[in-house]
A and B are shown apart, each in its own frame.
Chain A
Amino acid sequence: MIVRNATFAMIRQPMVYALASWIPRSSVQRPVQSVPCRECGDHLEAGILERVAIGQPKAVQECIDRYGGLVWSLARRFCANPSDAEDAVQEIFLDVWRSAPRFDSAVAAEATFIAMIARRRLIDRSRRAGSRPTPSLDSGDMGASLGDNKPQPVAVAELDEDAQRAAVALDSLKPEQQKVLRLSIYHGLSHERIAEATGLPLGTVKTHVRRGLIRLREILSGETSSSEGVTS
């Protein structure tokens, strides 16, 4: 059975995503500002994307200031050169502003939502270019990732709540699963290249990716489950 409370709808059926149970957020770490409600006139707290959605010009610049580095860093990992990355960043921000009305802070953090849009656009650009992303691997990064059993240490204090949970979720996976997910999500390698790099059968790579994502989803949604491939 598919776990549907994780659904986050975009594109065709925007109403479907309003399933707040996906992430029972204990705290929302995002900048807030009081904005007047168009209908009731009350002043409400709103995040950047919510204010972009209601057409507040200042929020657009705030969005760039706050998330520009994040989007740029993602783009640099996916794009072959800085020029491509710059084009991609502009496309991504346009997507973000257009998608702002669909953002729901009860479902995901702003950074996660923006990273999702960025990843989709970057993956799409790579496919249109006829090639998989050519990740800009840090010196020795690839070797480290193949050899390490755990994700790289992360500055959790810098991360939003979703990313902190994702770090915990990654840590709970079997070492082999961690490695495959890292190569897939962080380095942007195709399943085939992961199979080549790790020596794992292609089917195993696909299974690790799928089960890893299911486990991530469970932890992000606060579900308890005895999924396969979990060490604890």
Chain B
Amino acid sequence: MTTSPTNQTDRLLDLLADRAVQGLSPREAAELDSLLRGESGEDASFDLSAAAANLALLGGRIEPMPASLRQELAALGRDWASGQISPKPAGNARASSKPANADRWKFAATTGWLAAAAALVLAFAGWWMQGRSGPTPGESLLALRRLAPDLVSIRWAPGPSEAREGATGEVVWSPSRQEGFMVFQNMKPNDPYVEQYQLWVFDSKRDERFPVDGGVFNISSTGETIVAIRTAVRVEDATLFAVTIERPGGVVVSDRSRLPLLAQPKKEG
């Protein structure tokens, strides 16, 4: 049985109206996308109407921003205007500091449909969790920029081997909060069944042979990707951030044979 055009139009109007005033569930949003594909594209007319009505109802009740927020926004605006913040919304990725079992990857690769099903479940779970809980890496990075006075930003530079030509971005690190993010643009995506990226943080207070593991991560597209840094131990004085390419699950000690990106903080003085 097919849905009549009239019913489809009614449903489309219902979804557009709901989105304008109370938002949609992921399922409803997918349904709206599907219905809009049959039309000429996105339709924001209800959203604009609701916004105009909101302005009318708000009337003169406009409160001035707190002075502290105004200053923070001004700083954010300067970062934006100087190009330090990407003009594109970030994708979401998360590094794991816990290496996965490589055998699992192998097993999954040899059982095709199981892998596909598992991936689907994981993707759904990830998407569902993303929609339900916690900030995205982009939001966390934004908060860190606002909250960490000692934030250090270092641009990626090509490494000595398998350099990712065209890859740009930065490492953002707060020593006091022991939090940071890697931001990538135009980074070559990896096949997690074959290899994964791994971050290493060199600390002047530690033996250079044993940098701190900053987590294993994947790049799924060449668009902007933000990856949270997950260090298992405290980093006292970061002197170098290095991305290596390792086998799936990462390694405990890297042979540093594949080192596509580096970011070195400038020495003071």
> Which A positions have Cβ atoms within 8 angstroms of B?
1-4, 6-13, 16-17, 22, 55, 57, 60-61, 63-64, 68-70, 72-74, 76, 82, 86-87, 89-91, 93-94, 97-98, 107-108, 111-113, 115-116, 118-120, 123-124, 126-128, 130, 132, 151-155, 158-160, 162-167, 169-170, 181-182, 184-186, 188, 190-191, 206, 209-210, 213-214, 216-217, 220-221
Cβ–Cβ < 8 Å partners of A90 in chain B: 69, 72-73, 76, 142, 146
Asked if B104 is at the interface of the complex by the 8 Å CB criterion, the answer is: no
Asked if B13 is at the interface of the complex by the 8 Å CB criterion, the answer is: yes
Residues B48-100 near A (CB distance < 8 A): 48-66, 69-70, 72-74, 76-78, 80-82, 85, 87-89
Task: State the CA gap A67–B47 with chains docked (Å).
Answer: 18
> Which B positions have Cβ atoms within 8 angstroms of A?
9, 12-14, 17, 20-23, 25, 39-66, 69-70, 72-74, 76-78, 80-82, 85, 87-89, 131-133, 139, 142-143, 146
Task: State the CA gap A98–B88 with chains docked (Å).
Answer: 7
Shortest CB distance B13–A (Å): 6
Given A9, A69, A74, A169, which contacts B64 in the complex, CB threshold below 8 Å? A69
Top 9 nearest A-B pairs (CB, nearest first) are A6-B45, A154-B59, A13-B41, A155-B60, A57-B81, A163-B55, A16-B41, A116-B51, A166-B52
Pair B59/A152 contact, Cβ less than 8 Å: yes
Given contacts A72-B63, A159-B55, contact A210 B13 (CB under 8 A): yes
Give me 12 other A-B pairs in contact (C-beta within 8 A), A130-B132, A165-B52 excluded.
Answer: A9-B43, A60-B81, A68-B64, A69-B65, A73-B62, A87-B139, A90-B73, A98-B87, A98-B89, A123-B23, A160-B55, A186-B53
Task: State the CA gap A210–B55 with chains docked (Å).
Answer: 18
Given contacts A158-B60, A184-B22, A209-B17, contact A217 B55 (CB under 8 A): no
Pair B77/A8 contact, Cβ less than 8 Å: no
Pair A73/B63 contact, Cβ less than 8 Å: yes
Shortest CB distance B181–A (Å): 15
Cβ–Cβ < 8 Å partners of A216 in chain B: 49-50, 52-53
Pair A163/B56 contact, Cβ less than 8 Å: yes
Cβ–Cβ < 8 Å partners of A2 in chain B: 9, 12-13, 39, 43
Interface centre among A107, A158, A213 (most CB of B within 10 A): A213
Task: State the CA gap A1–B39 with chains docked (Å).
Answer: 11
Task: State the CA gap A69–B41 with chains docked (Å).
Answer: 32
Cβ–Cβ < 8 Å partners of B69 in chain A: 68, 72, 86, 89-90
Pair B54/A119 contact, Cβ less than 8 Å: yes
Pair A151/B73 contact, Cβ less than 8 Å: no
Given contacts A55-B81, A61-B77, contact A72 B64 (CB under 8 A): yes
Shortest CB distance B119–A (Å): 24
Pair A159/B59 contact, Cβ less than 8 Å: yes
Pair A8/B54 contact, Cβ less than 8 Å: no
Pair B41/A12 contact, Cβ less than 8 Å: yes
Cβ–Cβ < 8 Å partners of A217 in chain B: 45-46, 49
Task: State the CA gap A119–B25 with chains docked (Å).
Answer: 16
Task: State the CA gap A122–B175 with chains docked (Å).
Answer: 32
Task: State the CA gap A9–B229 with chains docked (Å).
Answer: 36
Given A130, A132, A213, which contacts B49 in the complex, CB threshold below 8 Å? A213
Given B44, B47, B60, B80, which contacts A94 in the complex, CB threshold below 8 Å? B80
Shortest CB distance A207–B (Å): 10
Pair A159/B56 contact, Cβ less than 8 Å: yes
Cβ–Cβ < 8 Å partners of B9 in chain A: 1-2
Pair B42/A12 contact, Cβ less than 8 Å: yes
Given contacts A64-B74, A94-B85, A162-B52, contact A127 B23 (CB under 8 A): yes
Given B12, B42, B56, which contacts A7 in the complex, CB threshold below 8 Å? B42
Shortest CB distance B138–A (Å): 9
